[in-house]
């Protein structure tokens, strides 16, 4: 059985999920799980944990890419 995971914020009782087009006409089991709302402190703690778990991440490459993008964007504005 194949599993498709779709993460969306529900803002209507009518959902448009193009990811499901290949499943039209098939019988599927749909489950909806609501994530608990985290406090601001919990969100910051989760972010700090994720950063601490990063391995082999090149922070300087990110900074270089941002600088390149900034310069490239300025060329298009001229």
What is the pTM assigned to this prediction?
A: 0.43
Q: Which two tokens stand for residue 47?
A: 């972010």
| Sequence ranges of the domains in the chain | 35-77
CA–centroid distance for 30 within its chain: 21
**Residue 40: what pLDDT?**
93
Classify 47 in phi/psi space as left (phi over 0), alpha (psi -120 to 50) or beta.
alpha
**Residue 4: what pLDDT?**
86
Chunk the chain into consecutive blocks of 10 residues (it has 78) and report each block's average pLDDT, rounded to whole numbers: 85 91 92 90 93 87 92 72
Check: CB of residue 17 under 8 Å from CB of residue 4. no
**Residue 47: what pLDDT?**
92
How many Cα atoms occupy the beta-carbon half-sphere of 65 within 13 Å? 5
In terms of Cα–Cα distance, which of 26, 39, 36, 32 is closest to 13?
32
**Residue 49: what pLDDT?**
93
């Amino acid at each position: 059985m194949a599993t498709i995971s779709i993460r969306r914020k529900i803002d209507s009782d009518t959902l448009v999920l193009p990811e499901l087009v290949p499943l039209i006409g098939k019988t599927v089991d749909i489950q909806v799980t609501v994530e608990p709302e985290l406090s601001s402190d919990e969100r910051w703690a989760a972010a700090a944990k994720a950063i601490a778990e990063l391995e082999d991440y090149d922070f300087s490459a990110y900074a270089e890419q941002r600088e390149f993008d900034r310069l490239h964007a300025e060329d298009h504005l001229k």
